[in-house]
Each structure stands twice: as structure tokens, then as C-alpha cells.
Structure 1
């Protein structure tokens, strides 16, 4: 509905803008003003609020918005429930995530791939990789179109639960079936290998990334560089630092301190001083 140039679409843009900067009271006020002007909120309006409340306030506050939308005759959809499940996952509330998933099914709402992705991530966060794998298998066997994020969540979850070999096997198997890795996929694996102190494999993965159509970013280089320093392979770490600098990447404060310490330990005092001066 439109009134004096205003529309529900414009209303939703305004609400999304306020929610993005966590000004939820102003977002609510915009809805009230819009209704007074004859601009009626729709499911997108309420979904924006549900997402914001679940992210910034609480799951209970988000669920109260669901009650409000039902009261005005707007039915929740899969996006509504995905936001609620994501909120409970962030709070590591597995039982609530499962209850919401079941509630969605009971309401006749078909889960999409993101519903399963969120649930899979929840299981991994709670240290339940077997359950996460069952969800993953359900996705593969369903009629849902797989998404790169699904594979990245699975690989990341395996790495974080210290199943790095399983993550690598899955990665190679996916490649054989036509999966084209994203930069984030490589960064996940490189980070997992570094945390497992498997530096050689991390460097191999870095070389593989460099030989692909993708370009390593600051996160990639910094991850491997810090692992080199932790493993006391200072020269290799400094080589990566040089490559990183040659490509115009900068370092965070922790990386700078690590680099300076490595330079000092390898007797390169002047370079350490220059690095400190550059940081000032």
C-alpha cells in the first residue's frame, strides 16, 4: 500500500537501516508512523525485526514479534524461523533450535537449505559432529540445491571439532565431484591445519590456493605466518611476511608484535626497529 509517496518497500528499507545499527526502538517507531499513514507492514517488515531482536536482544524478544505478526494476520515463513533458529544457535540452545525446527514443520513450512545449514552449525557448536553429519547427509539426499556455504560449514565444523583429516577428505571428495572451493574454504582449511600444528600441509594448501584462480588475502597469509612463528620456523614466517607486504597487505597489532619478536630472535634487530617505527 502507498500513501503520499510512501510504500511498504520504503518502510522496510528504513526499518532495515535502523535495525542494522541496532536502533530497534526507532525501527518500531517507524512502523507505528507508517501504520498511521496507511502504510501496512508485511512479512518482510516483521522478519527484519525478528532477525534484529534475535541477534541483538534475545530469542524471547524475537519470538514476541512472531506473536505480533500472527495477531495482524501475517503468517511466519521459512525466513522467520531461520532467524529464530539462528538466534538460538548463537546462544547454543540446541533444544530450542530443534523445537523451532519442529514447530516450523508442524506449521507446514518447508525448510530450505539455510534451515539445515543453521541446524548443522548448531550441532557443531555444541560438539556434536555426528548429528551435524546426519543433517549434512539429509541435505545431500534431499531435493534442495546445495550451496557452497553448506560445504564450508561442514568443513569448518570438522576442523573446529578436531576432525581435520575428515575435513581434508571431504574437501578432496567434493573437488572430485565438481565443487569449486572459495577463498573462505581454503582459509578454513589452512586455519584448521595451523591450529593442528600441521604447518607443512598448511603451506601446501597455501601454494595450491596460489595456483588457483583465487588470490590469498591478509587472513590467509597472517594465519600461516603466525603458525610458522609458533613452530619456531622464523625464516619461513618472515618469507610469508615479505610476500604479504609485496602484495600491499597490512598487519594487525598482534601480527606486528609477532613479527618484531621473530626478527629479534633471528638477529635482525635493525629490521625489528624499522618495523616498530613503521607501526607508530
Structure 2
């Protein structure tokens, strides 16, 4: 492009950065960012989002947060997927307090966390058996009239059954039925596995039939 004197723009250079990030070559991606600055080509929210995603994929969360705050300083408003990506990265690296603060910051900046954001944190709580925090956050999303989805319920049901809290799991299943949410393969798989472990084979067979229906 340069040899044929075709001018670069934000779109073409962002594509190049995206290629480097997907190849895991973050250094090259940031080099292109530097080239953009040198050429006077303004990076936009998409450019920074690509770099943020690449950093989070490599669990370089501190750098992703630094870049995120740089966006804010530059007056570039991150899109909601950027918030969700960083939130997911914080959970994966077990920075749970930071994830909680990040959720609050989203709200302060006028970005209402969606079901993806809440489910990301609830899933982390459940996988680490933080069952006081998980129901609390689950209650919060319902207070905000955000509709839980199958994944949200599956996380909570799996954690409840893992701790042999059958009544909690049953209450969640009743909620699913009341809200007319269809169970998926994952949810039925969790139920079948738990029923088999406790020796309720007849009930497990019944749910396995539902599991097969969900698959098809």
C-alpha cells in the first residue's frame, strides 16, 4: 500500500492490529498503534478494543486496564463488549475484588452491566464456591429487572448441587419453569450427573431423555 502511495486510515491499520493480536503478537500490534500516531491517524474505540481483547486473551489484565483508562483519558468511550472482555479477564485471573469494583464503575459511567457481565462474575463465584457472593449478585440483577438466562441458572444449580444443597437447586429449577426458560443440554447434563452420583437412576434416566431432546 505504501509503495503504491495508498494512504493508510484508521480502518486499514486497525485490521492490521487485529491480525497481529489474533496471532498473539501484541508487540507488533502496539508497533502499528505507534505508527498510527506517527502518521497522525487517530485510533478509535474499535482500535483500542482490539488491543484490549488481545491483552485479555494473554491474561495481561493489568496492561488491559491501563489501556482502558488511557481510552477514558483520551475521551474515547469504550463499547460494552470492552467492559465485558475486561470483566471476564479479571475473573479468569481471580481478581474478584477488582471485578466487583469494575462492575460498579460500569454503572457509574452509565453503562448498565448486562446479563453477560453479571453471569461472568456469577460463574466465577460459583466455580470457586463463593456461594454467599453468587446469590447476592444474582438478587441484584433481578432487582435491576435483568432477566437471568439458562447459563446463569446452570452456574448456580451446578454449584448448589456440588455442595449438596438440593433445596436451593430445586428452587432455582422452579424459577426456570416459572419464567418459561428452556433448559439446555448443559443444564440437563448437570442434573443427570448429580442424580447418578446420588443413586437416583430412574430419575436420571428421565432427565437423560430430556437431555437428548434438548440436544436435538
Task: Report the TM-score range of the alignment, normalised by the length of the smaller protein.
Answer: 0.7 to 0.9
**Do the aligned partners of residues 149 and 257 (structure 1) sit closer, same or farther apart at CA in structure 2, a change above 3 Å counting?**
closer
In the alignment, the residues of structure 2 paired with residue 106 and residue 72 of structure 1 have an alpha-carbon distance, to the nearest angstrom, of 20
Could you tell me which residue of structure 2 aligns to residue 182 of structure 1?
114
For structure 2, the 5+ residue unaligned runs are none
Q: Deviation digits for residues 184-243 of structure 1, max 9, x if unmatched?
A: 211222122223321221222122212223211122112222233334434423432343
Pick from 105, 130, 142 the counterpart of residue 74 of structure 2.
142
Could you tell me which residue of structure 2 aligns to residue 132 of structure 1?
64
State TM-score, norm by structure 2: 0.83
**Do the aligned partners of residues 248 and 143 (structure 1) sit closer, same or farther apart at CA in structure 2, a change above 3 Å counting?**
closer
Aligned positions, number: 211
In the alignment, the residues of structure 2 paired with residue 170 and residue 217 of structure 1 have an alpha-carbon distance, to the nearest angstrom, of 22
Q: Deviation digits for residues 110-158 of structure 1, max 9, x if unmatched?
A: 1111211221222222232221121111012112234323322222221
Q: Is the 8 A contact 1:117 1:153 kept in 2?
A: no
Pick from 75, 85, 97 the counterpart of residue 153 of structure 1.
85
Could you tell me which residue of structure 2 aligns to residue 25 of structure 1?
none
In the alignment, the residues of structure 2 paired with residue 225 and residue 90 of structure 1 have an alpha-carbon distance, to the nearest angstrom, of 35
Q: Is the 8 A contact 1:234 1:262 kept in 2?
A: no
Q: Is the 8 A contact 1:234 1:266 kept in 2?
A: no
In the alignment, the residues of structure 2 paired with residue 166 and residue 71 of structure 1 have an alpha-carbon distance, to the nearest angstrom, of 47
Could you tell me which residue of structure 2 aligns to residue 257 of structure 1?
189
**Do the aligned partners of residues 237 and 96 (structure 1) sit closer, same or farther apart at CA in structure 2, a change above 3 Å counting?**
farther
**Do the aligned partners of residues 245 and 71 (structure 1) sit closer, same or farther apart at CA in structure 2, a change above 3 Å counting?**
farther
For residue 132 of structure 2, give the secondary structure of its aligned residue in structure 1.
Answer: helix
Q: Flag the structure with more relative contact order, 1 or 2, with Cα contacts below 8 A and sequence separation at least 6.
A: 2
Could you tell me which residue of structure 2 aligns to residue 107 of structure 1?
39
Q: Is the 8 A contact 1:121 1:157 kept in 2?
A: no
Could you tell me which residue of structure 2 aligns to residue 17 of structure 1?
none
Aligned Cα RMSD in Å? Answer: 2.5
**Do the aligned partners of residues 223 and 81 (structure 1) sit closer, same or farther apart at CA in structure 2, a change above 3 Å counting?**
farther
Q: Is the 8 A contact 1:123 1:132 kept in 2?
A: yes
For residue 13 of structure 2, give the secondary structure of its aligned residue in structure 1.
Answer: helix
